[in-house]
């Protein structure tokens, strides 16, 4: 199958590209800066695109046989929650999605599979509420979370596609990626105690399990069929922040566990140009869709997932 990945130069995109190429698929990456990240993984090709409009890059959606689109495009969320940054977070996703949708509608035949990226941050800060796909979508919430994700998902609804699966992804843990490095750094430095109250929930998923869900969303797993609807990609065992920090300390062998009070985190976030609410808020998300279909996670528990990733 030909698979076009928009925004495929990030850590998720590169992992998915390598996985699909190994299975013999024809992978094309749409990127704003071809070659900037060291070029595509072996076996894939890059095409430059302007995610704000349909242009010559749209020929990437031409194919004689089966074709899929994976939409991962968007600005990284690790930034200060200013009005300008939130607008850029939203527009980078919505405009890219609208351009892909417009390109798909130029085709006579619909795209066979459309895999739409999303995030469990759509639910915002939910305290102790247990979230699944049965939970009603929020009508309001934090602008840098709900305010970004709701229009992002909505922009994909007019895609000219036979099947469209939206994956609401929690924090993906993968070796040597910014997300995991940012989590491990305070533990390695001895600041591996609870952050803030330490009671906020942390939902996560190992990259190996995320890739299996993504393949199913592309129709590549005969054992797992996903609905044309949002699917939550998260381990069945979320943990509170205090346990997350303890597991991180164990993974790196650091016995010192200094806590990080909220005011310290907020000051550090200014210096690091990040959003403190990424650590101070959380949500307990699990998938009823995957559970109903008998999906078995290879890494259901955080301790085992971290042990595997740190070892690699």
* pLDDT of 87 over the 80 cut: yes
- In whole angstroms, how large is the CA radius of gyration of the chain? 19
DSSP string over 2-65: EEEEETTTSHHHHHHHHHHHHTT-EEEEEESSTTTTS-PPTT-EEEE--TTS--GGGGGG--SS
Per-residue confidence band for 38, with pLDDT thresholds at 50, 70 and 90: confident
Whole-prediction pTM: 0.96
Please tell me the predicted confidence (pLDDT) of residue 56.
94
Q: Are the C-beta atoms of 47 and 29 separated by less than 8 Å?
A: yes
* pLDDT of 37 over the 80 cut: no
- DSSP character for 136? P
Q: Are the C-beta atoms of 198 and 260 separated by less than 8 Å?
A: no
Please tell me the predicted confidence (pLDDT) of residue 40.
87
CATH number of 2-171+205-235, picked from 1.10.3080.10, 3.20.10.10, 3.40.50.720, 3.40.50.300: 3.40.50.720
Q: Where are the domains of the chain?
A: 2-171+205-235
Q: Give the Cβ contact number of residue 93 at 10 Å.
A: 27
């Amino acid at each position: 199958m030909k698979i076009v990945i928009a925004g495929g130069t990030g850590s998720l995109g590169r992992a998915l590209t390598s996985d699909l190429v190994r299975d013999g698929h024809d992978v094309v990456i749409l990127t704003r800066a071809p070659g900037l990240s060291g070029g595509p993984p072996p076996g894939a090709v890059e095409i430059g695109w302007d995610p704000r409009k349909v242009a010559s890059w749209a020929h990437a959606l031409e194919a004689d046989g089966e074709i899929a689109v994976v939409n991962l495009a968007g600005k990284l969320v690790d930034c200060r929650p200013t009005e300008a940054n939130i607008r850029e977070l939203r527009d980078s996703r919505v405009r890219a999605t609208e351009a892909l949708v417009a390109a798909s509608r130029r085709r006579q035949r619909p795209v066979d599979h459309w895999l739409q990226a999303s995030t469990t941050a759509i639910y915002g800060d939910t305290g102790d509420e247990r979230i699944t796909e049965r939970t009603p979508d929020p009508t309001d919430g934090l602008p840098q979370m709900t305010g970004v994700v709701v229009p992002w998902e909505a922009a994909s609804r007019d895609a000219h596609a036979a099947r469209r699966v939206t994956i609401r992804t929690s924090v993906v843990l993968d070796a040597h990626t910014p997300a995991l490095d940012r989590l491990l750094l305070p533990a390695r430095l001895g600041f591996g105690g609870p952050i803030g109250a330490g009671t906020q929930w942390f939902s996560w998923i190992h990259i190996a399990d995320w890739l299996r869900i993504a393949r199913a969303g592309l129709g590549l797993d005969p054992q797992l069929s996903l609905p044309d609807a949002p699917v939550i990609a998260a381990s069945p065992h979320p943990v509170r922040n205090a346990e997350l920090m303890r597991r991180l300390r164990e993974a790196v062998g650091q016995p010192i566990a200094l806590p990080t009070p909220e005011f310290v985190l907020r000051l550090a976030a200014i210096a690091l140009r990040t959003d403190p609410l990424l650590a101070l808020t959380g949500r307990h998300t699990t998938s009823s869709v995957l559970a109903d279909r008998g999906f078995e996670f290879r890494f259901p528990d955080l301790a085992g997932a971290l042990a595997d990733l740190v070892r690699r």
